Amino acid sequence: MDGKPVYEPLLSRKEDVSGYPKKKSFLLSSAKWILWVTMWVIFIAWAAFIFLYPSDFVSDLYQKWRRASHGTLFGVTGSTFLIFSAPILLITFLATAYLLLCGEEEIHEKKTSRFPRFRLWTFPVLVDGPFGVVSAAEMIGIVLFTAYIIWAFAAETVKNSQLIAMFFDHLPSKEKSVLMLELTGLRLGLIGLFCMAFLFLPVARGSVLLRLIDIPFEHATRYHVWLGHLTMALFTLHGLFYVIGWAIEGRLVRELMDWRNFGIANRPGVISLVAGLLMWVTSLPGVRRLNFELFFYTHQLYVVFVVFLALHVGDFIFCFAAGGIFLFMLDRFLRFCQSRKTVDVLSARSFPCGTLELVLSKPANLHYNALGWIFLQVRELSWLQWHPFSVSSSPLDGDHHLAILIKVLGDWTEKLDRRISSISEKGPYNSKLTVSVEGPYGHESPYHLTYENLILVAGGIGISPFLAILSDVLHRIKDGKPCQPRNILIVWAVKTSTELPLLQTLGMENIHPTFSETLNLEIQTYVTRESGPSLEEGKIIEPVNSAVFTASKRSGMSVLAGTGDILWSGIYVIASTIGLVITVALLDALYINPYRVVYWWYKGFLFVACMFVSVLVFGGLVIGLWHLWERRTSLHEFKNVENGNVQQNAPRLAGKEQYLNTTLYGQRPDFTGIFQSAADRWGSVDIGVIVCGPPTLQTSVAKECRTQNLRRGGNHAIFHFNSHSFDL
């Protein structure tokens, strides 16, 4: 093709045009290595302490640490926070420094191996179970959490039995049974609290931690769901054991309404558990899919759940899980500030296949990759509803715009379609389309660029992110930027042929007229509900309704959340954490210690209040400075745009096809034949498989990847499964 050996990537990182240094500074490499090892040591020590806490040695060690902290400024609360919550915050600080040292170039270019090899994150182990498609790495996590629950429950049960035998053996059997129930409930609550330490970490969408380990939000959401089921099951059993014991002794109502000042306050615990149960029940798949709005609105009860949990257990016990909750609060406030800004809609189009396209204004310094997500709100439709959509444009398509494709499937999308039709008829000056955006979210690095061989499997509107991938690859090849893919196979399943013209919106020949010289592209389309081509096939797609708007100077997306600036994100977390320490110190020095405040529930409330104040005041100050910097940067960029208007994303014309395009009617993809054919043609290589579509499609592809890998011969390809499907 271009004279290079067949085993070399198209655009090698050794080339000067890539802009990547050939050698790295020893000092820089050493600093990154030290940071990476330090983070791992802290995490392993923190996780090991939690895992081994049920053992006598570790629990005794913690009690000695608590006793040693009596009389200090922060007291028991400070010592508990230092052990159970501070480590995850410290890792966040170090992660900021690590990502800054890595720089954008290294983040966006992963190492590739000359020989194919298995990877834990991309090898599907389970495909049909209750967890959906589970990779080997995820399976290890599930096993570890299961082992912890079994070990912790067994160890705590032995402790309970020994405690009763030692101090309460003289009690009647009925009272001993009740005491055993209450002690078991107590231990289950503690185990649930430790699980809760991890619960909020995956849903901090723009978290530096998620960016460090390169887990996109749509994957992290699954982990939150799993942890949510586990945590609520433990808390429910915790309450149930107490309720049974109290009912046996005839003091159920009195205990449920009890709000004692010293020790655990029961009534706040009841309120917290009820809020948690409402969130849990409405988040079950059947309820969530039947009524998403009920799930969404009920899930806002997490505020009640957390606050009354703090009132229930007090400040120092709440510190077992405070670190993850604090990081979530930081992320939530940052997203709130970002979503208050309205975003210009540059153009809106409605296509005959029931698909909408919105092109949104963004600043040039807002970074994302072709596999990004955004959450969209249209205020004319609802002030509360936010819906996730995959980005359909490459970041290289233009510095000042971002496009998404929306399938008209439900009430909200139907209202949006009617709104666009109304604007098309009346003109953009007579109608409004006010949108706000959260994100973009997604992988920190564009992993699709690290595979020389790609199979992209889409179902219906799932083609949207793959249009962005194709555009990204073509732009990079044309501009001489780092890009590994040279073989791309797209397998697209649609119900009817009306969706086929969506491919024409990309205009590959307009991006890079001679891309076929360096990229082997094949598209296989399966029209499952038609037996043959229609008379309209092959015609250029024309939107049914369209509207073009004029962009204002300061109405692009905000860069505060998503893949925002790492330096500002780190300053925001560090300043807020320092603010929390200062706020708690002032409260202890000026109020709690001098006035001998000892009520558990009240101190729990004050601690949560300190968390809120530190986020709002100290974090808010950083956000204000960040916003001023953003406005200054955006205004400077806007002056560089001709005539003060952003005219982009004009409809592209379809040119002569330079790739193999096959359309098959009345059948579904035969993944066994497709994968085997690709392996035969491409040889013993790593093949990245990315799926975007319904769960059944993901399951079929994951099962085939697993089958191909398990029966792999010495010279057979290895298929790496990656999912890009968002399912709330």
Per-residue pLDDT reduced to its tens digit, 85-96: 999 999 999 999
Per-residue pLDDT reduced to its tens digit, 584-628: 999 999 999 999 999 999 999 999 999 999 999 999 999 999 888
| Spatial CB neighbours of 301, under 8 Å, sequence gap ≥ 6 | 275, 276, 278, 279
Using H for helix, E for strand and C for coil, what is the string for 147-200? Answer: HHHHHHHHHHHHHHHHHHHHHCCCCCHHHHHHHHHHHHHHHHHHHHHHHHHHHC
**Residue that is written with structure tokens 């609520």 in the block:** 232
Residue 78 burial by Cβ neighbours in a 10 Å radius (0-12, 13-18, 19+): buried
Per-residue pLDDT reduced to its tens digit, 414-436: 888 888 888 777 765 556 788 88
| Spatial CB neighbours of 141, under 8 Å, sequence gap ≥ 6 | 223
Measured between alpha carbons, how far is residue 449 from residues 89, 523, 564 in Å?
32, 18, 21
Q: What pLDDT was estimated at residue 256?
A: 93
Q: Which two tokens stand for residue 659?
A: 């790739």
| Spatial CB neighbours of 319, under 8 Å, sequence gap ≥ 6 | 77, 80, 81, 84, 85, 607
How far apart are alpha carbons 705 and 690 in whole angstroms?
11
| Assigned CATH topology for domain 342-548 | Elongation Factor Tu (Ef-tu); domain 3 (2.40.30)
Per-residue pLDDT reduced to its tens digit, 142-199: 999 999 999 999 999 999 888 888 888 788 888 888 999 999 999 999 999 999 999 9
- Bridge-based pairing of strands 453-459 and 686-692 is parallel
Amino acid code (one letter) for 438: E
- Bridge-based pairing of strands 345-351 and 342-343 is unpaired
- Bridge-based pairing of strands 435-441 and 342-343 is antiparallel
Amino acid code (one letter) for 71: G
Q: Which two tokens stand for residue 657?
A: 């096809």
463 with 411: CB under 8 angstroms? no
Element (H or E) spanning 466, and its range? helix 464-479
Q: Which two tokens stand for residue 2?
A: 């271009």
- E strands, 475-516, in order: 487-494
Going by the DSSP 8-state scheme, the letter that residue 551 receives in this structure is -
Residue 186 burial by Cβ neighbours in a 10 Å radius (0-12, 13-18, 19+): middle
Cβ count within 10 A of residue 268: 20
Using H for helix, E for strand and C for coil, what is the string for 363-396? Answer: CCCCCCCCCCEEEEEECCCCCCCCEEEEECCCCC
How far apart are alpha carbons 518 and 486 in whole angstroms?
7
Across the 728 residues of the chain, what is the mean pLDDT of every consecutive 10-residue run? Answer: 38 39 71 94 95 91 88 88 95 92 57 73 87 90 93 92 84 87 94 94 85 80 92 96 92 92 93 96 86 85 96 94 94 87 84 84 80 86 84 82 86 85 69 81 80 91 88 86 87 87 74 78 88 62 59 62 75 94 95 92 96 95 86 62 45 53 87 90 90 90 91 82 77
Q: Which two tokens stand for residue 82?
A: 């230092």
Per-residue pLDDT reduced to its tens digit, 503-561: 777 777 777 777 777 888 888 999 988 877 765 555 555 556 566 665 555 566 677 76
Q: Which two tokens stand for residue 58?
A: 């570790």
Domain residue spans of the chain: 342-548
Q: Which of 438, 437, 434, 337 is nearest to 381 (CA)?
A: 434
109 with 20: CB under 8 angstroms? yes
Q: What pLDDT was estimated at residue 213?
A: 83
β-strand partners of 459: 493
How far apart are alpha carbons 444 and 371 in whole angstroms?
10
Distance of CA 544 to the CA centre of its chain: 35
- Widest CA span in the chain: 91
With 0.85 as the threshold, say if the pTM is over it: yes
Amino acid code (one letter) for 138: E
Helix (H) and strand (E) counts in the chain = 23, 16
327 with 93: CB under 8 angstroms? no
557 with 524: CB under 8 angstroms? no
**Residue that is written with structure tokens 């995850």 in the block:** 88
